[in-house]
Amino acid sequence: MNKPKYFLYARKSTEDDDKQIMSIEAQLFELREFARKENLEILQEFQESKSAKKPGR
C-alpha cells in the first residue's frame, strides 16, 4: 500500500504582528516538526497572507 502524502498550509490573516499569534514561519516550523516526528511525507508547502474580512462589513 502507498504511503499517504501531505502538504503544509500556513496562513496569516493580518499584517499586524501584534494581532497574529504565530507568524507564517513559526507555523511552518511547528508543522515541519510534527511531520518529522510522525514520519510524514510532505509534498509541498503553501503560504497565504490575506484577510478574509470584506471591506464594509
Asked if 5 contacts 39 with a C-beta cutoff of 8 angstroms, the reply is no
Predicted confidence (pLDDT) per residue in 15-52, tens digit: 655 666 789 999 999 999 999 999 999 999 999 987 66
| Overall pTM > 0.75 | no
Where are the domains positioned within the chain? 5-14+21-49
Of the two residues 36 and 57, the one the predictor is more confident about is: 36
Asked if 35 contacts 6 with a C-beta cutoff of 8 angstroms, the reply is yes
DSSP codes joined into one string, the chain: -PPPEEEEEEEE--S-GGG-SS-HHHHHHHHHHHHHHTT-EEEEEEEEE---PPTT-
pLDDT at 57 > cutoff 90: no
